[in-house]
Amino acid sequence: MKCSLFVVAGLLVTAAAGGVAAEEPLPIHGFLQAASAYRLLRPDACPRTQRLACEEEFVLGEGRARLEVEPRGERWGLTVKAELIWDAVAGEVDGDLREGYLDLRFPALDLRAGRQIVTWGVGDLVFINDVFPKDWVAFVSGLPLEYLKKGSDAVSATGHWRGTSVQLVLTPRFEADTLPEAGGRLRFHDPMAAIEARRTDDPSPSLDHLESGLRVFRNLAGWDLSLYAYRGFFRAPAAEVEAGPRLRFFFPPLDVWGASAQGAALGGVVSVEAGYHDSRADRSGRNPAVENSSFRFLAGYQREIVPDLTASGQYYVQAMEDHAAYRRTRGPGMARRPALRHVLTLRLTRLLWHQTLRLGVFALASPNEGDWYVGPEARYQITDAWSATVGVNAFGGPRRSEFGQFEGNANLYAAVRYAF
């Protein structure tokens, strides 16, 4: 997602020019933020590919400057959110175009072209139909939660007709999830740690690799109903060993079909979501490198217990297809997942001092796989411009499991932000 400083600067100038074209003076917003995360656990054993991750005391240490310019007219809008990031741990400076898109608005159609964040589904940190790119490194490292979502370079068209809306998202340039990788700052489960030669095949930019997503949604009697369809790729790479030996990472094709509903019921908000992940390149389940197809289901409930204290819980299950074939193809050192993965989550949020202090905790655990994540956080809005956040990211469970592999990244994080 990084791009050169020149591109960022160029876009800011373009946006500013757009602002001059708009009738009113162009307001500039953004923030300055300092964030760091201190590693709480020191690993005893360390694979060679993760030496940095074992030695580095700080998972995160950075300064960030964000500029946002959003000139808008009656029928159009331009949004540019660009960042300059100083990574103090690596001693590097980089630019990132977080969002940069043009909006065109017609009576029954909204068009958006450019780098944009797309969020689908009703899950809280559990994703079924939200197949858009995510930055799990940012999440594990203790950056603010918004950095979990990454932009897609895409064109989105949303049509509205008699209360029903249809959104089509076309993404010509594939963007993978950002995951911990060898040589990085994060610990993770690497079944092929012995093979240091690695390459990644990107499905972009060939046009027959266009990703497409479709969402149909409407409100019916107070319930938000959505249908989803996606044709594209797994965002997390599959890996296979080539001659050399060398590890080749690639992104297998994926189709997703799903639906969600959310509405007020039982004195709170009830959410339900389901989806089928069709792993098109491994429908038999016999390819050990490619994830099998799966059915996923989520049910959630959120309620304000007393004013300014909200609790929510979710149950999520993922059912792997062709589990027998999967079991037969597992190699040594590879994780062995059960046919069903159950997950429970709990979130508590307490607002205090006229909602300027937010105390929250999010916990997720899989009762049958034994991995878990807990993230308590306190955020204080010191003034309208200044805020401070402290929190902990803790992980645990079997070292090959989804969250257990991050145990060695447990961290205490803090961030201070000045927003304008």
Partner 1 sequence: MVAVMTKALPRAMAAGLLALLAVPGLARPAAAPPSADEMIARAHLAMFYPGEDMRARVTMRLVSRAGGERRRELTMTRRDLQDGGEQRYFIYFHRPPDVRDMTFLVWKYPGRDDDRWLYVPAIKLVRRIAASDRRSSFAGSDFSYEDISGREPEEDTHTLVREEKTGARDAYVVESVPKDPGSVDFGRKLSWIDKATWLPLKEEYYDRRGELARVFTAEEVKAVQGFWTVTKRLMKNVQTGHSTEAVLSDVRYNLKLAPDLFSERALRAPPAELTR
Interface residues toward partner 1, by CB under 8 A: 24, 29, 31, 70, 72-74, 77, 103, 105, 110, 116-119, 122, 145-146, 148-149, 158, 160, 163, 165, 217, 219, 222, 224, 262-264, 267-269, 271, 302-304, 306-308, 310, 351, 354-356, 381, 383-385, 387, 419-420
**Beta-bridge mates of residue 207:** none
Least Cβ distance, residue 355 to partner 1 (angstroms) = 3
Q: Based on the number of CB atoms within 10 Å of its own CB, is 359 exposed (0-12), middle (13-18) or buried (19 or more)? A: middle
Q: How far apart are CA 261 and CA 273, in angstroms?
A: 6
Q: What are phi and psi of 195, to 5 degrees?
A: -95, 110
Min separation Cβ 241 and partner 1, Å: 37
Q: Is 268 exposed, middle or buried (0-12, 13-18, 19+ CB in 10 A)?
A: middle
Query: Residue 165 or residue 204: which is nearer to partner 1 going by CB?
Result: 165
- Residue given tokens 């000045």 in the structure block: 418
**Pairing, β 198-200 against β 246-250:** parallel
**Smaller CB distance to partner 1: residue 35 or 53?**
35
- Please spell the DSSP secondary structure of 334-359, one letter per residue: -----SEEEEEEEEEEEEETTTTEEE
Minimum distance from residue 249 beta carbon to partner 1 (Å): 27
Helix and strand counts by DSSP (H, E) for the chain: 4, 22
Residue 415: name the closest of 109, 9, 64 by CA: 64
Give dist(CA 131, CA 142) in Å, integer.
Answer: 22
- Least spacing, CB of residue 330 vs partner 1, in Å: 36
Q: Would you say 44 or 74 has its CB closer to partner 1?
A: 74
Q: Least separation, in Å, of the C-beta of 418 and partner 1?
A: 9
Supply the minimum distance, in Å, between the C-beta of residue 371 and partner 1: 25
Q: How far apart are CA 87 and CA 109, in angstroms?
A: 41
Min separation Cβ 121 and partner 1, Å: 10
Between 217 and 295, CB nearer to partner 1: 217
Closer to partner 1 by Cβ: residue 351 or 378: 351
Q: Which is nearer to partner 1, 72 or 327 (CB)?
A: 72
Tell me whether residue 50 or residue 387 sits nearer to partner 1 (CB atom).
387
* Strand, helix or coil for residue 146: helix
